Chains A and B, each alone.
Chain A
Amino acid sequence: MGKQESLELLPGTLDLLILRALVRGRLHGYGIAQILKAASEDVLEVGESSLYPALQRLLLNGWVTAEWGASDNNRRARYYTLTAAGRKQLAAERAEFERMVAAIHKVLQTA
């Protein structure tokens, strides 16, 4: 499942990046977008239109769970937490992704 999908760049990759962002602990949607933006040094700006469908997809697959909590400025926010299945998926996807990048890199260098 999903092996071919990860080739279509954004959707599959976004799931991977979200999972990676959640490794350090639970975050709300806005927090995830902030982290991705900061970690990529402002290259990746994830809009709501792709972030929330991705989060729903992760929920549906059981890779993350969601719960309501208070944000830093004391507003109600939904926090996402990585599940065990999510961790496994992250490891698998990450290995796959790195092999793919290495392969692309090699092709680009020889050509």
Chain B
Amino acid sequence: MSKFLRRLRYWIQHRKLDAELAEEMEFHRAMLGGESGPGAAMGNTTLSREDARAVWIWPWLESLWQDAAYALRTMRRAPAFALTALLALGSAIGLNTSLFTIFNAIALRPWPVRDPARVVTLHRFGREGGGDFGIAEYRYLAQYSRSFSGLFAARNGERVNLQDRPRQLTYVSGSYFRVLGLEMERGRGFLDQEDTTGAPVAVGVISHSLWENQFAADPEIVGRHILVDDIPFTVVGVTPADFTGTNPLRNDIWIPLAARKLLRPNDPGVDRWLTSPEDCCTPVAGRLAPGATRAQAEAESAILIEQFRAHHGLNKHESRIVAAGTAWIETPHKKRQVVPVILTLFLAVTLVLLLACANVGNLLLARASARRREIAVRLSLGGSRFRLVRQLLVESMLLALGASGLGLLMALAFPGAILRRLTPDQAFRAVPDTNVLIYTAAIAILSCIAFGLAPALHGTRGRIAEGLKAEAGAQGTRRTRLPLRAVLLSVQVAISVILLANAGLLVHGMQRAEEVDPGFDVRNTTVLSIDLPASQYTGPRSMELTRDLIAVLDGSRQLPACGLTLNPPLSNATYSTSFQIPGRQGPVLHIYTNEISPGYAAAVGMRIVAGRNFVAEDSGRDVLIINEAAARRWWPGESPLGKDVLANRKMERIVGVISDTYANDLSSIEAVLYFPLNGHWGAPFIVVRDRGPASAERIAAMVKRIEPRAQVRAEPLAASFRRVLQPSIYASELAGFLGLLALVIASVGMFGVFAYVVGQRTREIGVRMALGAQPSEIVRLVLGSSVRALVCGAAFGIAAAGGISTMLAHALPGIEPLDPLAYAGVVALLSGAVALASAAPASRAMRVDPVRALRWD
């Protein structure tokens, strides 16, 4: 072994050692030259040097090559083994690599900008919670900070109509493109003076894909005017093709922060957003100045923020600023949310990999015992055990290499497709890169050790004499049977039970969730949303429109039940207000609210439980309806009708009680106050009791008659319902896929073991049959020990699955960790797989011909 270490040292330092050798030989030559004149040649110096170097390298490489060639020959002689092992291992490695590719694309990659290592995002942590920054705060930071060569603010996620198509818009500071250091495809990025609060300039930068798709890659795009929500903006640049923005979602157009005033002229919130020292929630990032560290940037920003607050007479915040890298995983508050999910996923695919390793390990073990004689012969001829183990490990490594090749192919195809299915609007590039290659190589080597080392050590352990004596039929006695095989079999069964059980729990939990009555009619309702040029529609205009819409649609005789609301069921939005009951003590509560028209309850299938529904004349009156949950909570055992409450600091009278619904998710029912819809928050949603498109089209036409520029989109309520269930659906699909894959791999493994055991004990079976044993006894004898291993594995797997699913239940509501139906299903599936895997070997055992078996040699 020390020889191996010296060789390793040579490999590491070979450059230096080669130079030393050359110098040494040069010395020799000089001495010879001094002896008998320059003519005394020493032969070919280079060749001599090569010969001397080869001492270190050649035998090693040569024997490695021999091992590899030998391994390939052996595998070609057992193609079924090689193929099974490659497929089992390849699918497991492919799964791992695909998951890592996705993880890498989403979470590990920094922003696609110049020198991303110097760009950091700023995060504030304080006693009053964390968050981002106000625009005024950002401008102060940008003006006084010395540890950044440049700072920028970017607020994403606004939907706009760009030339009448819905697009994503991001507001950015004038410094954005300069700080990121992008080389624009066309034109330029923004100038600092184009983003001055109070002096907005209508300029925009569009994305490469928008330029190609909507503007046909127009070479004259720079300088063109485009309409954003009916406001003309001048295109000044196009981003490079590989720039996907500084957030995970696709983005189509960027405009300066100050230009929000142009886009939303009637919205008083914009002025507050741009100038209020107390505003929050705009992400800020910057490029560190040469030589500045993150710690310096954090400390300086914290001081500047306190200065800013003191300057504006705000109380001390004592906030801590964290400068984090731009890769998604480094975002501080994301970490806590996402890491458990990622760990669960990696745990699951690692289990599949372990299962595949146990499977291939078992196959190798069976082969090793079949090759016992060969190995014994080689040992007796003086082959060292180390050398033999290495030979067997080279075989494993070849398998692992082939499997990682398969895995990488999978990683090329799957991750992109999966991501596109999860979120069509994302901008990730899910292609394998260096990180993925390193990851794949690492798991290939680890799995090779996991499945290869034990069988190799195990197989070369036996005493030589025994191995030489052992004949095909004689070694299957209880004494020499390898217990490692039983352990590996148990591991496979346990892992597949864990994965199957969790899949069963998720799928069953899913089915229960689908059957939950959310309190409204999911199947027969369609929701229509109205897109208006937001620049024109605020306050009075939208109230006017809402009044007109209610008049035409609400309770219309020509349509199925139809109503309007501020916030349709299962949308992503929530509205809330302060709430107090006069005469009762206690703090001011915050409570969910919604606004509805008189026809709404009938349209979505809610019932008025007590009191009355709204009528058209209620609009503008101080009346409200509460849901049953609110009635139970504040007026248990008495009627809330006619009671007065303070909502949003206004006295309102309760006129009715309406049935409960799940509002935003399916986990809990909250107390809700319903007010008469009046439209001051913007255009309402229309709900109609009809699943087909016919009513939706008629309503869209009616809306267009009132407001020709409105765009109406219809979506069945069932689609929103599915969206809420989507994470659970994906989780159960993935778990089901992993569980089935595990079962298939484990079944192949079981089949291999059964077939091997029967083959090995053919002679013994023959003897027993000749002595009158019944076929059923034979089957019990031969498969008994394997079945014991199966039962052990299953028991362990069920216990572990119970533990894991109890933890999982915290992350995914709707799971019942000890769901008997799921476990019964797993046991049934597993029994089926065992029956399938043992059928052929068992029937072979029963058909053994005693006469032939006894002659067998």
- Chain B residues lying within 8 Å of A24, measured Cβ to Cβ, are none
Q: How far is the CA of A55 from the CA of B55 in the complex (A)?
A: 9
Given A56-B56, A60-B56, answer yes or no on A49-B25 (Cβ-Cβ < 8 Å). Answer: no
Q: A29 at the A/B interface (Cβ < 8 Å)?
A: yes
Q: A61 at the A/B interface (Cβ < 8 Å)?
A: yes
Q: How far is the CA of A53 from the CA of B56 in the complex (A)?
A: 9
Q: B773 at the A/B interface (Cβ < 8 Å)?
A: no
- Chain B residues lying within 8 Å of A76, measured Cβ to Cβ, are 23, 27
**Residues of chain A in range 5-50 having any CB-CB distance to chain B below 8 Å:** 28-30, 33, 47-49
Q: B7 at the A/B interface (Cβ < 8 Å)?
A: yes
Q: How far is the CA of A29 from the CA of B48 in the complex (A)?
A: 14
Other-chain residue from B20, B32, B43, B48 in contact with A30 (beta carbon distance below 8 A) = B32
- Chain B residues lying within 8 Å of A62, measured Cβ to Cβ, are 2-3, 6
The smallest C-beta distance from B187 to any residue of chain A, in angstroms, reads 64
Given A30-B31, A60-B6, answer yes or no on A77-B48 (Cβ-Cβ < 8 Å). Answer: no
**Which of A33, A52, A57 gathers the greatest number of chain B CB atoms within 10 Å?**
A52
Q: B702 at the A/B interface (Cβ < 8 Å)?
A: no
**Residues of chain B in range 2-61 having any CB-CB distance to chain A below 8 Å:** 2-3, 6-7, 10, 20-21, 23-25, 27-32, 42-45, 47-49, 51-56
Other-chain residue from A49, A60, A77 in contact with B24 (beta carbon distance below 8 A) = A77
- Chain B residues lying within 8 Å of A78, measured Cβ to Cβ, are 20, 23-24, 27
Q: Chain B: which residue is nearest A58 at the CB level? A: B55
Q: How far is the CA of A52 from the CA of B55 in the complex (A)?
A: 10
Q: Chain A: which residue is nearest B20 at the CB level? A: A78
Q: How far is the CA of A62 from the CA of B7 in the complex (A)?
A: 11
Q: Chain A: which residue is nearest B21 at the CB level? A: A52
Q: How far is the CA of A95 from the CA of B44 in the complex (A)?
A: 35
Q: Chain A: which residue is nearest B24 at the CB level? A: A78
Q: How far is the CA of A76 from the CA of B51 in the complex (A)?
A: 23
Contact A29 B28 (CB under 8 A): yes
Contact B30 A29 (CB under 8 A): no
Q: A75 at the A/B interface (Cβ < 8 Å)?
A: yes
Mask, A69-105, CB within 8 Å of B = 1, is 0010001111000000000000000000000000000
The smallest C-beta distance from A32 to any residue of chain B, in angstroms, reads 10
The smallest C-beta distance from B1 to any residue of chain A, in angstroms, reads 11
Given A49-B44, A57-B55, answer yes or no on A71-B27 (Cβ-Cβ < 8 Å). Answer: yes
Other-chain residue from B30, B44, B49, B53 in contact with A75 (beta carbon distance below 8 A) = B30
The smallest C-beta distance from B409 to any residue of chain A, in angstroms, reads 41
Q: How far is the CA of A61 from the CA of B6 in the complex (A)?
A: 8
**Which of B24, B27, B54, B56 gathers the greatest number of chain A CB atoms within 10 Å?**
B24
Contact A28 B27 (CB under 8 A): yes
Contact B51 A49 (CB under 8 A): yes
Q: Chain B: which residue is nearest A32 at the CB level? A: B28
Q: Chain A: which residue is nearest B34 at the CB level? A: A73
Mask, B435-464, CB within 8 Å of A = 1, is 000000000000000000000000000000
Q: How far is the CA of A52 from the CA of B52 in the complex (A)?
A: 5
- Chain A residues lying within 8 Å of B21, measured Cβ to Cβ, are 52, 56
The smallest C-beta distance from B326 to any residue of chain A, in angstroms, reads 50
Other-chain residue from B2, B6, B48, B49 in contact with A59 (beta carbon distance below 8 A) = B6
- Chain A residues lying within 8 Å of B6, measured Cβ to Cβ, are 59-60, 62
Q: How far is the CA of A78 from the CA of B48 in the complex (A)?
A: 17
Contact B44 A60 (CB under 8 A): no
Contact B47 A49 (CB under 8 A): yes
Q: Chain A: which residue is nearest B55 at the CB level? A: A56
- Chain B residues lying within 8 Å of A68, measured Cβ to Cβ, are 20
- Chain A residues lying within 8 Å of B56, measured Cβ to Cβ, are 56, 60
Given A48-B25, A48-B28, A53-B55, answer yes or no on A61-B3 (Cβ-Cβ < 8 Å). Answer: yes
Q: How far is the CA of A88 from the CA of B72 in the complex (A)?
A: 41
**Which of B51, B54, B55 gathers the greatest number of chain A CB atoms within 10 Å?**
B55
Q: Can you report 20 A-B residue pairs in the complex whose CB atoms are below 8 A from each other?
A: A29-B28, A30-B28, A30-B32, A48-B28, A48-B43, A48-B45, A48-B48, A49-B43, A49-B51, A53-B51, A53-B55, A56-B21, A56-B55, A56-B56, A62-B3, A68-B20, A76-B23, A77-B27, A78-B23, A78-B27
**Chain A interface (Cβ < 8 Å from any Cβ of B):** 28-30, 33, 47-49, 52-53, 55-57, 59-62, 68, 71, 75-78
Known A30-B31, A53-B55; further 13 A-B contacts with Cβ < 8 A: A29-B24, A47-B48, A48-B25, A48-B29, A48-B48, A49-B47, A52-B21, A52-B24, A53-B51, A53-B52, A53-B54, A60-B56, A77-B24
**Chain B interface (Cβ < 8 Å from any Cβ of A):** 2-3, 6-7, 10, 20-21, 23-25, 27-32, 42-45, 47-49, 51-56
